[in-house]
Structure 1
Amino acid sequence: MHFFLLGASGRTGQHVVSQLLSQGHTATALVRTSSSLAPRAGLTIVTGSPLSNSDIQSALDASPSSPSATIFTLNTVRKSDSPFAAQVSPPRFLADSCATVCGVLEQAGLKRIVVMSTAGVGDSWGQLPLLSKGFMRLTNIKYALQDHGILDNEIRLTKMDWTLVRAVMLKFDDEKPTDTKKDVRTLGSNGEGMGLGDSVSVASVASFLVKVAIEGLFVRSAVVVAN
């Protein structure tokens, strides 16, 4: 199968690339900087913005075959990893990028998209532990949560066959794309049973995103995942 990737140069996105290629699939990645992703056999890299209709169309045109699905792992950017660091990404970066991508894909007759989201969005907010809610409200992580929330609401109005994968707290200990992935638990759309100590590795999330895209799981629904 062939896949179209947004966010492929990110921490989770690099795992998605490695797992797709290791399984014999191919992918086209739209990246903002050509040097952000190393060339590999089976990977077509196109430079452009996820906010540009023409750049997205150029990436699709450059694909060796029509994508079976799109995997969207873009995230907002802060000046550092500190939760208190200033936000760099503009408001609605995720929502507008996803809307732009979905618009181009719909016109091309491509409906399947799997989006990496975060626990706390939509109906999963009510199941978050109180300390997690307080942390999100008091730090600049709240801006990413708000953007994911807008994306979550708006993608439901499209004709796309979307899946929203809501990851609990991400663990970045295993940032190398070759690290071993672990199984995930699925906790439904609202994340019932989430605990304060729950986390999920980036390799595990990437593996689940790939599985969902390949097997056509959780179409037009959201799912919370944890290790």
Structure 2
Amino acid sequence: MGFTSTQRNLSSSKAIMHFLLLGATGRTGKHVVSELLSQGHTAVALVRTSGSLTPRPGLTVVTGSPLSKPDIKSALSAAPSLTPAAAIITLNTVRKSESPFAPQLSPPRFLADSCANACEVLEQAGIHRIVVMSTAGAGDSWAKLPWLSKAFMGWTNIKYALEDHGLVDKEIRLTKMDWTLVRASRLELDDPKKKPADSKTDVQTLGSKGDGMRMTDSVSVSSAARFLVKVAVEGLFSKSAVVIRD
């Protein structure tokens, strides 16, 4: 059977890649899955709750915890004959509700330990590329964060997530991984009123420190997901962090 012109263009323009996903059931993670599959890539997702992500062509779902190195190893070999070229992590800490004052449910160092486990398992498997969803305000971007944003984070339980992202930021630099930290401005759900063309606009990148960050900055989950996939597929921002906004 011959290829369609679309298939020929896709196959000739870039190689099809396989990815390990941690956090694929989250609001950004779900968009990462859709973006990868729409580009013809394949993925294996490690999820903590069975049934939380529906398997579909190109996607393998494995139940387990990112806090368990054996579970991550199982995910690496879950798709026969496919070895991930890279990992994309979109994990976040969990609060009892969406309220910024809600009690933290995730254990301390959830993000840091999950990332450390993934880096160790990937390195042992000879896989060195990892792209991690972080947040504006982590690491050296804290100094450029608007003072109202700093006050809000310090006053609410969001500070626990920021602290954990900060630990990831410090520890991933000690690994031998080819890492990228994508520091998202305030994440927002997609606006259904926006025209489809508007949703394809590339995000703005503000460097590692986030020079020029504003209190009003935000980024939609779909924009963040597209950028994460682009960075992972094209090998951008190697061993560096980058702040993004719409």
Band the TM-score falls in, shorter-chain normalisation: over 0.9
Deviations 1:61-120 (A, max 9, x none): 112311111000000000000000000000000000000111000000000000000000
Q: Say whether 1:186 aligns with 2:205.
A: yes
Deviations 1:13-34 (A, max 9, x none): 0000000000000000000012
Distance 2:44 2:124 in 1: 18
**One-letter identity of the residue aligned with 2:41:** H
Deviations 1:143-192 (A, max 9, x none): 000000001000000000000000011112459xxx74432000000000
Q: Say whether 1:35 aligns with 2:51.
A: yes
List structure 1 runs of 4+ shifted beyond 6 angstroms: none
Q: Say whether 1:203 aligns with 2:212.
A: no
Larger relative contact order (C-alpha < 8 A, sep ≥ 6)? 1
Distance 1:61 1:44 in 2: 10
Aligned to 2:29: 13
Distance 2:150 2:68 in 1: 34
> What is the root-mean-square deviation of aligned Cα atoms in Å?
1.1
**One-letter identity of the residue aligned with 2:76:** L
TM-score, reference length from structure 1: 0.97
TM-score, reference length from structure 2: 0.89
Aligned to 1:118: 135
Aligned to 2:41: 25
Distance 1:174 1:151 in 2: 30
- Which of 38, 55, 58 aligns to 2:71? It is 55
* Kept in 2: contact 1:184–1:225 (CA 8 A): yes
Aligned to 2:7: none
Instruction: Give the SS at the match of 1:35.
Output: coil
* Kept in 2: contact 1:85–1:140 (CA 8 A): yes
Instruction: Give the SS at the match of 1:219.
Output: coil
**One-letter identity of the residue aligned with 2:43:** A
- Structure number with greater Rg is 2
Distance 2:157 2:42 in 1: 36
Distance 1:80 1:35 in 2: 21
Q: Say whether 1:84 aligns with 2:101.
A: yes
Distance 2:200 2:45 in 1: 22
Q: Say whether 1:96 aligns with 2:150.
A: no
Runs of 5+ unmatched residues, structure 2: 1-16
* Kept in 2: contact 1:116–1:167 (CA 8 A): yes
**One-letter identity of the residue aligned with 1:13:** G
Aligned to 2:233: 214
- Which of 155, 172, 179 aligns to 1:162? It is 179
* Kept in 2: contact 1:28–1:46 (CA 8 A): yes
Runs of 5+ unmatched residues, structure 1: none
* Kept in 2: contact 1:174–1:203 (CA 8 A): no
Aligned residue-pair number: 224
Percent sequence identity over aligned pairs:
73
**One-letter identity of the residue aligned with 1:211:** K
Q: Say whether 1:67 aligns with 2:80.
A: no
